[in-house]
Amino acid sequence: MTRLFIRMFATPLLCASCLAAAAATNSLAPGQARIETFRHGDVEVTLAVEPATISLDRDVQLTIRASSPDGIDVELPSLDKRLAGLEIIRSYDREPERSGGRVVRERCALLAPVMADEYRIAPLVVRYSGSAAGQAETNWFPTRPVRLESAPLLSEKTAGAIGDIVPPVWIPPSWKTAALWCLLVLGVLLAAWLCVLAARRIRNAMRLRGLSPRERALRELAELLSKRLVERNKVKDFYVELTMIVRRYIERAHGIRAPEQTTEEFLEAVARDSRFTAEVVRRLRAFLESADLVKYAAFRPAEPVVAGAVRTSREYIDSDAAHAGENTA
């Protein structure tokens, strides 16, 4: 943040100081700046780099100063693609100054060092035209490459001050984070529980498919009795499920859509079917009509009547399966 503040607000002041330093290079103290001078005839070019040693925590001021006699127009060289390990933050040209028959042109650039193996200013091409005698001519010359030294990342004093790393400190999570983790754990447990239920249903369905119609009906009858609906005063619910067990058995064993039909429709269907004898039809009619009295007429049978209905349904399932050739052992 401090470095950004310096670049945004202090750059003009740095460039101004850079121009002032380039105009009087003799005022730079030895060791603070790297100064390179190049001459070609009456043209003199000076490169001033401050500081002379590159450090990643400090920007670099580069001043290009060209001095030539009146009548010679010098084109200050471009820094584009001429820098290695340095990036241009800002570049500024000062107005030419004339003094003692010579013209001084200056370009000031503020550079930012980056991590690099080498810090270098490649040769710059200086072009000029005209002559002090007034004869028109165009010429150019290159500067020498300038390699800059870099300061070590850690000084000996700083390196000696580095000790063991402080062990990590456990920071307890916030209540929001803890609540999210609890919800995540509960979600995982709920998903696992649902998977277990689905696996059980699939396993039970596969087991039921392997049973014969008689075995499935007797199993359903045993499950109904285990619910103890009669003892819990749910006689109507008991008779509804009991008749549905018989109807589902007939559907599986004989292919008649018994569960979807009314009692009269079902009895008419079995009466027309040659697989059902008159005696079987009579017993089914008596069983279903007595059950309808309980389901629709609020009739409450005694316990012996309920036990007789269970016995009748079981005997019918066993006898029908035996007549169809199903193994009842």
pLDDT in single tens digits along all 329 residues of the chain: 444 444 444 444 333 443 333 333 334 444 488 999 999 988 999 999 999 899 988 999 999 999 999 889 999 999 999 999 999 999 999 999 999 889 999 999 999 999 998 999 999 999 999 865 555 678 999 999 999 998 887 665 655 566 667 788 888 889 999 999 999 999 999 999 999 999 888 887 777 677 888 888 888 889 998 988 888 888 888 888 988 898 888 888 888 776 777 888 888 888 888 888 888 888 888 888 888 888 776 777 788 888 888 888 888 888 888 876 654 44
DSSP string, 50-98: ESSEE-TTS-EEEEEEEEEETTEEEEPPP-TT-EESEEEEEEEEEEEEE
Q: 176: which 2 tokens?
A: 């929001």
**Which long-range CB contacts under 8 A does 238-246 form with residues at least 24 apart?**
238/306, 239/291, 239/294, 239/295, 239/309, 240/295, 242/291, 242/309, 242/310, 242/313, 243/287, 243/288, 243/291, 243/295, 245/217, 245/220, 245/221, 245/313, 246/217, 246/284, 246/287, 246/313, 246/316, 246/317
Within 10 angstroms of residue 319's Cβ, the number of other Cβ atoms is 13
Q: Which residue has the tokens 């859509």?
A: 257
pLDDT of residue 28: 42
- Check whether the bond before 51 is cis (ω within 30° of 0): yes
Contact status, residue 106 vs residue 142, Cβ threshold 8 Å: no
Q: 91: which 2 tokens?
A: 């570049």
What is the Cα–Cα distance from 34 to 31, expressed in whole angstroms? 7
pLDDT of residue 154: 63
CATH topology of domain 2-149: Immunoglobulin-like (2.60.40)
- Record the pTM: 0.42
pLDDT of residue 133: 54
Q: 312: which 2 tokens?
A: 């009748």
DSSP string, 163-215: -PPPPP---PPPHHHHHHHHHHHHHHHHHHHHHHHHHHHHHHHHHHHTS-HHH
Count of all residues that appear for the chain in the document: 329
In this structure, the dihedral spanned by the alpha carbons of residues 12, 81, 35 and 156, taken in order and rounded to 10 degrees, is 90
Show the CA angle centred on residue 254, arms to residues 248 and 258, nearest 5°: 40
What is the Cα–Cα distance from 309 to 329, expressed in whole angstroms? 23
pLDDT of residue 3: 45
pLDDT of residue 124: 94
- Closest to 19 (Cα-Cα) out of 11, 7, 31: 11
Q: 162: which 2 tokens?
A: 């580095």
